[in-house]
Amino acid sequence: MNDSIPGPQFGLYVPQLKMDAASVIAVAQQAEEHQFDSFWIMDHLYAPGAPGCDSLESWTLLSAIAGATSRIRLGHLVGCNPFRHPSLLAKMAATVDQISGGRLDLGLGWGSVEDELTTFGFPFGSRRERSDALGETLEILELMFTGEPFNYSGKHFELRGAFGLPRPVAGRIPIHIGGGGRQLTMPLVARHADWWNCVGSARHRLEDLAPLRGSARISAQYAVGLARTTADIDEVAAKTARRMPEAGWGKALVGTPDQLVDLFLDEQARGIDLFVLRFHDFANAETMRIFATEVAPNVRAHRVAQTGS
């Protein structure tokens, strides 16, 4: 992410469900046009909860988005570590970073959807084993990104004379680790992450978990219902709850633009630097425009006024 931005950042999350590549690319281009800071997709081989629908492979899609945009940062929330050997992952990440001109953020998790891993034949072991494997992946990524030859001997992976070329544009890629587990996730965040991505279902525990993150900055995921008038709030709230249930997404932020400004300022006060949004209407172009002109600037302006930046 762009650490030079003084105020909070806004990312758009669009899981590529029931969408063709051209449609996802078009939404990413609109997000860039409307000055969103980042654009995020999912990394699944099927759609959890809706396994029978089209779901494009994420890294191939991200490459296409990288070539069709020029400013917005790109990433997964979050990548599934068991899907790829860390040396291959490092090569893929460096390649997409090169294609995008250095705009990749690398989101990773240890893989929590066991049904998906079983369905597609990935050996996954226990939750602790998956967490340990992610820790080794993060160590290998750091070594691969140096471009220098190295050996690595771990419990899960062993490399001899490995190296990663080309290197990422800036020499490394910011790491986002997603989750809300005190024992398996937060130690990895503290040890390796630039950003801790607090999933929506863990936001109510943010104050308890945040001290465990080390120096990582905080991002969080939100279901957002933008109502154009107060008369629309009930309908928008119902649609938001139906499409993004609280059990998975946490309490949604729903309201008119003015009301959303206040809600985001409350969340900002909790220490969140990056808001990752999934809109109730799947990121309709007009919703993005209204958010970009009536919500985001006012949240950022308040931050600048507070800090004097």
Looking at the DSSP bridge assignments, the partners of residue 178 are 197
Residue in the block written with tokens 């893929």 = 92
Per residue in 110-161, pLDDT (tens digit) is: 988 898 999 999 988 899 999 999 999 999 999 999 999 999 999 999 999 9
Among 1-5, 194-198, 247-251, the least confident range: 1-5
Residue 305 and residue 282: Cα distance in Å, rounded? 32
CATH number at residue 95: 3.20.20.30
Per residue in 72-89, pLDDT (tens digit) is: 999 999 999 999 999 999
> Residue 3 — pLDDT band, cuts 50, 70, 90?
low
Residue 293 within a domain: yes
Residue 101 within a domain: yes
Whether a cis peptide bond, with omega within 30° of 0, leads into 78 is yes
Looking at the DSSP bridge assignments, the partners of residue 275 are 10, 220
- What does residue 8 show for φ and ψ, rounded to 5 degrees? -65, 150
Residue 4 within a domain: no
Structural domains counted in the chain: 1
Residue 71 within a domain: yes
Per residue in 195-248, pLDDT (tens digit) is: 999 999 999 999 999 999 999 999 999 999 999 999 999 999 999 999 999 988
264: containing domain: 9-307
Residue 116 within a domain: yes
Residue 40 within a domain: yes
Residue 176 within a domain: yes
Question: 286: number of CA atoms within 13 Å, CB side?
Answer: 3
Residue 1 within a domain: no
Percentage of the chain lying above the pLDDT 90 cut? 87
In the three-class reduction of DSSP (H, G, I as helix; E, B as strand; rest coil), residue 307 is classed as: helix
